[in-house]
Amino acid sequence: MAGQFSRAFGIAAGGALGLAPALALAGTGQPSPGEIGFQGSVTPIMDSIVAFHNGLLIWVVLAISLFVLVLLVIIIVRFNARANPTPARFTHNTLLEVVWTALPVIILIVIAIPSFAVLTDQMTIPDGTRQYLGSNIFSFGSTAVPAPALTVKATGSQWYWSYSYVDENKTYDSNILSEKDRLAQPVPQPRLLAVDNMLVVPVDTTVRVQVIGADVIHSWAVPSFGVKVDAVPGRLNETWFNARKEGVYYGQCSQLCGTDHAFMPIAVRVVSKDAFDTWLKALKAGSVDDANKTLPPLTAAELSDAA
């Protein structure tokens, strides 16, 4: 309970309560039971999103909620029919109206500045020289990110994903596993997230992701990467991620796309650079099945990865 409370109110609150060292922030790469906070971060963009939420948004939300609560209590106590039998009849107060118009505008501007900075980071493919915000959203960018070394294309179809390794000219489909197949695995992947062929990428490498829809609009989203991009037919969207930790990271199609919208999960397996090179060579020479055989079997640690 303490862990969930702390997650909800962010690292800052957790630290203040002295709970931070005892916390195992489970749920990196996948949701965990009872979790109401973010999944753990493994990329500079998700670092920014977490810092933005924990460092600013949650406090703005808290302050506004408490302020409204106080106003409600004052009104209930002081202006009920018994305490205030003859109500005042005025309807305007110019100063008050200016304040309650201007104050929300100022709050929105304060939120918008770091928000647009994070958005710009998300939308700008690294070139090796541009600095990114990372977890320090109030800086002018101090996190170095290398230029992309790999380009993959995710195509959303009703109802599965296809992944293309653009430079190798290789494409394969990624389908949800049936419950029977999932449970037959030596170490079962999480329910409703299990796929047959994961997207495989190397660790500590910037990956350019192109996203497109083949039929209707889908959305390619991986919470631990801080990535969510619409897959729009006829339009190639682009984003990037650089994962610093090996493991399996799950996401789901995040745009209502038809009856099986909930059954086209996304699974990204981040492996060592050597393992990836071997995998990619096998993919190039043969099929995705051949390539997947070069990878070590999924372990329980990889699948229940906690940061």
Please give the radius of gyration of the chain, using alpha carbons only, rounded to the nearest integer. 24
Part in contact with Cu ion (CB under 5 A); list of ranges 60-68, 171-179, 193-201, 251-259:
251-259
Q: Measured from the CB atom, is 176 or 198 closer to Cu ion?
A: 176
User: Smallest gap, in angstroms, from Cβ of residue 234 to Cu ion?
Assistant: 16
Tokens 């197949």, residue located: 181
User: Smallest gap, in angstroms, from Cβ of residue 161 to Cu ion?
Assistant: 8
User: Smallest gap, in angstroms, from Cβ of residue 191 to Cu ion?
Assistant: 18
User: Smallest gap, in angstroms, from Cβ of residue 37 to Cu ion?
Assistant: 25
d(CA 194, CA 209) in angstroms, rounded, equals 21
Part in contact with Cu ion (CB under 5 A); list of ranges 56-64, 72-80, 124-132, 254-262:
254-262
| Residues contacting Cu ion: total by CB under 5 A | 3
Residues 197-236 that bind Cu ion (CB under 5 A): 218
Near Cu ion by CB under 5 A: residue from 193, 253, 266, 267: 253
Q: Which amino acid is at 289?
A: D
User: Smallest gap, in angstroms, from Cβ of residue 211 to Cu ion?
Assistant: 11
Torsion of CA 272, 277, 281, 284, to 10 degrees: 80
* Residue 51 binds Cu ion, judged by CB under 5 A: no
Sequence-separated (6 or more) residues with CB below 8 Å from residue 281: none
Near Cu ion by CB under 5 A: residue from 45, 222, 248, 257: 257
**Strand blocks (E) in the chain:** 131-132, 143-144, 150-157, 160-165, 170-174, 199-202, 206-213, 218-222, 227-231, 237-242, 247-252, 265-271
Q: Measured from the CB atom, is 212 or 253 closer to Cu ion?
A: 253
- Give the interface with Cu ion as residue ranges (CB under 5 A): 218, 253, 257
